[in-house]
Amino acid sequence: MSDKTIKIRAKLKDNVTTVKALMNHPMETGARKGQDGKNIPAHFIKEVTCEVGGKTLLTAYWSGGISKNPYLSFKFEGGAKGDMLKLSWTDNTGESASAEAEIG
């Protein structure tokens, strides 16, 4: 995986924070065949978590049915400008990544 696997933004408006994240990941199901005719091994994000101030906001469990370079957007109440938001993922091969963004 490249060094910058997650791009994340968090904006506060009218006490609602909107989080937008783009994750760089191949998301292979294990069912596709390569040019050599052999199956491409499964390689997908299986868990995504997001937290603010040590409090978990979101936990998502994914499988191979999510597209390459997945985009995730959600809203929550209770954030404040300047709070740090952390989003992280773990895939089925044990790789992981995380990124932080300040709520603006």
Q: Is 2 exposed, middle or buried (0-12, 13-18, 19+ CB in 10 A)?
A: exposed
The domain segmentation of the chain, as residue ranges, is 6-32+39-102
CATH superfamily of 6-32+39-102: Immunoglobulins (2.60.40.10)
pLDDT given for residue 70 in this prediction: 97
Distance CA 26, CA 72 (A): 15
pLDDT given for residue 3 in this prediction: 54
pLDDT tens per residue, the chain (104 residues)? 445 789 999 999 999 999 999 999 999 999 999 999 999 999 999 999 999 998 999 999 999 889 999 999 999 998 999 999 999 999 999 999 999 999 99
Distance CA 82, CA 11 (A): 10
pLDDT given for residue 39 in this prediction: 93
Residue 12 per-residue DSSP state: E
The structure's pTM equals 0.89
